[in-house]
Structure 1
Amino acid sequence: MTDPGTPPAAIRPARDCDDAPLGELDRATWSTLHSVQPRPMPPYRPFFDENHPPEGYLVAEADKGDGELGVAGYVRVVPPSSLACNQHVRQIQGISVADWARGRGVGRALLRAAADEARRQGAVRITLRVLGHNTPARRLYESEGYVVEGVLPGELFLAGRYVDDVLMGRSL
């Protein structure tokens, strides 16, 4: 049992060597509950590329239960665009938690670290998009102060049904 005062995970900036573990995590956690991308199939592309460099990611490491540290999750925090007029905003463009780390506060720790990183970069707002049917994620975001700022009804067609794209944000 983890001590209640112990953080659920150590959060750190991503490194080049995280490419393979993050790619594995992304494939293992893929679901139409949260992903708009097709299921990843071999041959797998690198996790990091020119549009998704390690600098945009924070990685959570936690004890896998056997005393060994493992990649428990990640969050991508980046400017929403290259426009100068919205550089005061950061956007979460992906968050994932390993199945073995769920229910341990890792997702919440990643959200808080994302907000801290956004503040460190000078942002005053943080936003994200979540699929309308992803109730667990929406509850987590709401518990961390995010509010629904817009809904694009039926914006996406996933697994045979139309799904809302929900825009959420908060001040920092």
Structure 2
Amino acid sequence: MSESHIRPALRADEAALGELDRDTWSPLHAVQPRPKPPYGSFFDANHPPEHFLVAADADGRVIGYIRLVPPTPLACNQHVQQIQGLAVADRARGRGIGRALLRAAFDEARRQGAVRITLRVLGHNKPARALYESEGFAVEGVLPGEFYLEGQYVDDVMMGRSLTA
């Protein structure tokens, strides 16, 4: 990951993030249909720039992102942050960028006062699940057959880990 760096997203990243999101769409991780033109905004009221960290290459081009948000607006849940999106450009895969984004999200969650981090992943997404497990996430729940994608029922897997250990 030496030729890239991670930083907070900027409003100016919107076009690049939208393109990355469309380019990395896959039934392996997406529950929404493939995006079609006209494309909406990447950022909106529920997805503001401050919820994203981006990985940029040495030339400053966006090659990945992770979205980190509170799982609920409840005060009693403020000690938890949730990953709700992770993407790495095909041209940048295999260089540890996904792992670096996860670790940056851990640091940011801790900075925000979180002691726990969670995520949801589709059961058939073995590469993502392996990455998450290698970074300390454990399966904490499964909703069997929660989604019907491309002719098959797919589990929704909840994973989490402590940020204090």
Gaps of 5+ in 1: 1-5
Q: Aligned match of 1:144 in 126, 132, 135?
A: 135
1:20 aligns with 2:11: no
Task: Give 1:132's aligned residue.
Answer: 123
Structure 2 unpaired stretches of 5+: none
TM-score, normalisation: structure 1: 0.92
Matched, 1:48 2:43: yes
C-alpha distance in structure 2 between counterparts of 1:55 and 1:118, whole Å: 12
TM-score by length of 2: 0.96
Residue of structure 2 equivalent to 1:74: 65
The answer to whether the aligner puts 1:120 opposite 2:111 as a matched pair is yes
What is the number of equivalent residue pairs in this alignment?
A: 163
Which stretches of structure 1, 4 residues or more, deviate above 2 A after TM superposition? 6-9
Identify the residue that residue 3 of structure 1 maps to in structure 2.
none
Whether 1:85 and 2:80 are equivalent positions in the alignment is: no
Q: Alignment identity in percent? A: 72
Give, as a single letter, the amino acid of the residue that structure 2 aligns with 1:12. Answer: R
Letter in 2 for 1:62: D
C-alpha distance in 2 between matches for 1:154 and 1:89: 26
Residues in 1 aligned to 2:11 and 2:119: alpha-carbon distance in whole angstroms: 25
Which of 98, 102, 110 matches 1:111? 102
Return the match for 2:26 from 31, 54, 68: 31
CA distance in 2, matches of 1:46, 1:126: 27
Task: Write out per-residue CA displacement over residues 18-70 of structure 1, whole angstroms, 9 at most, x where no aligned residue.
Answer: 1000000000000010111111000000100011000000000124xxxx332
